[in-house]
């Protein structure tokens, strides 16, 4: 890891942590969710960073990839189990973190399960540690608290302008030969549920990633594609485009770009047993003394 990489990764992680805690303060009853997401992304840009992916608030049985469209009037309810997931990049280096809020504490133990699992593995990001052992500790922690880990969601490596790289950091015990190496940059994100412990895609996507830019026929799709290219291959929200091009033109352009294989869509991920889901996440630099880049004193 060169000095540039470490400097930017630490800066991105610090800002991601600050943005996450700022977003947490905005989660109050009757507040529009889209306003929280907009405020978090504005905070990131005002502090000199850029979103590494659209800030997301996934509610109740949705584990991830729930991101409000521009016209979404959904509001925070006291009973909601709210996962706030925030990513920042600085010069292409990424910090990724998440937390869960349940305002009326009905699901306090579920929220604590994913938080405790993350805490219990935070010292394990050292060279030579098998990733399956990390998954085992996550699994045991969550099960001991009476819940199930979400087995088909995992943490991931963080690359240069790349939010998901190797290695995968599982949330269950695996018997494989993959081990952590010095200076790997990874995100660990335990998910806990009172459901069946698995997710499936369900619902209309509002988050996309440019895969391979391909020729398109319509002028609006060409114009939208040029804008998408400015996101440097990182995920983006349809809401960002709707502000510039309008909802109708954006939807038509995204449909054409998906159809011709330019885009990958990321639909919401729902717990298959309709269970509530909690999530906590930090980013780590692997070393003899692991660095939690997103660690903020208040959380």
Best CA proximity match to 150, nearest among 193, 99, 101? 193
The enclosing H or E element of 158 equals: strand 154-159
Tokens of 122: 């935070």
Choose the catalytic residue: 18, 80, 271, 281: 281
CB atoms within 10 A of CB 41: 22
Choose the catalytic residue: 164, 223, 232, 299: 164
| Residue 235 preceded by cis peptide, ω within 30 | no
CB atoms within 10 A of CB 187: 25
Burial class (CB in 10 A: 0-12, 13-18, 19+), 235: buried
Asked if 156 is an active-site residue, the reply is yes
Choose the catalytic residue: 189, 242, 256, 271: 189
- Cβ distance 192 to 147 under 8 Å? yes
Tell me which residue has tokens 């998901």: 164
Choose the catalytic residue: 96, 242, 256, 271: 96
Asked if 281 is an active-site residue, the reply is yes
Asked if 299 is an active-site residue, the reply is no
Choose the catalytic residue: 65, 89, 156, 282: 156
Asked if 96 is an active-site residue, the reply is yes
Asked if 288 is an active-site residue, the reply is no
- Cβ distance 88 to 51 under 8 Å? yes
- C-alpha torsion 32→62→14→77, nearest 10: 30
For 65: left if phi > 0, alpha if psi spans -120 to 50, otherwise beta; the answer is left
Residue 248's contacts (CB-CB under 8 Å, 6 or more residues apart) are: none
Choose the catalytic residue: 85, 242, 256, 271: 85
Asked if 18 is an active-site residue, the reply is no
Best CA proximity match to 269, nearest among 260, 279, 259, 261? 279
> Which residues are identified as catalytic?
85, 96, 156, 164, 189, 281
């Amino acid at each position: 890891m060169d000095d540039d990489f470490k400097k930017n990764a630490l800066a991105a992680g610090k800002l991601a942590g600050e943005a996450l805690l700022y977003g947490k303060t905005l989660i109050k009853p009757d507040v529009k969710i889209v306003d929280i997401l907009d405020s978090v992304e504005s905070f990131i840009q005002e502090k000199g960073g850029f979103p590494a992916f659209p800030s997301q608030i996934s509610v109740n049985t949705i584990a991830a990839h729930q991101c409000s469209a521009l016209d979404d009037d959904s509001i925070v309810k006291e009973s909601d189990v709210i996962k706030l997931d925030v990513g920042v990049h600085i010069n292409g280096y990424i910090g990724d973190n998440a937390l869960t809020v349940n305002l009326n504490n009905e699901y306090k133990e579920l929220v604590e399960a994913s938080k405790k699992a993350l805490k219990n593995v935070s010292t394990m990001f050292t060279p030579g540690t098998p990733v399956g052992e990390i998954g085992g500790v996550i699994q045991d922690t969550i099960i001991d608290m009476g819940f199930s880990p979400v087995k088909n969601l995992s943490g991931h490596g963080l690359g240069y302008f790349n939010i998901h790289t190797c290695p995968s950091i599982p949330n269950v015990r695996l018997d494989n030969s993959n081990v952590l190496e010095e200076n790997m940059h990874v995100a660990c994100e335990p998910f806990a549920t009172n459901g069946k412990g698995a997710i499936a895609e369900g619902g209309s996507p509002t988050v996309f990633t440019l895969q391979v830019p391909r020729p398109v026929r319509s002028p609006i799709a060409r114009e939208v594609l040029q804008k998408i290219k400015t996101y440097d291959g990182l995920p983006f929200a349809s809401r960002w485009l709707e502000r510039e091009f309008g909802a109708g033109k954006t939807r038509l352009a995204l449909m054409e770009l998906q159809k011709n294989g330019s885009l990958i869509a990321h639909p919401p991920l729902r717990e298959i047993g309709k269970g509530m889901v909690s999530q906590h996440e930090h980013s780590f630099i692997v070393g003899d003394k692991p660095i939690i880049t997103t660690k903020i004193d208040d959380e």
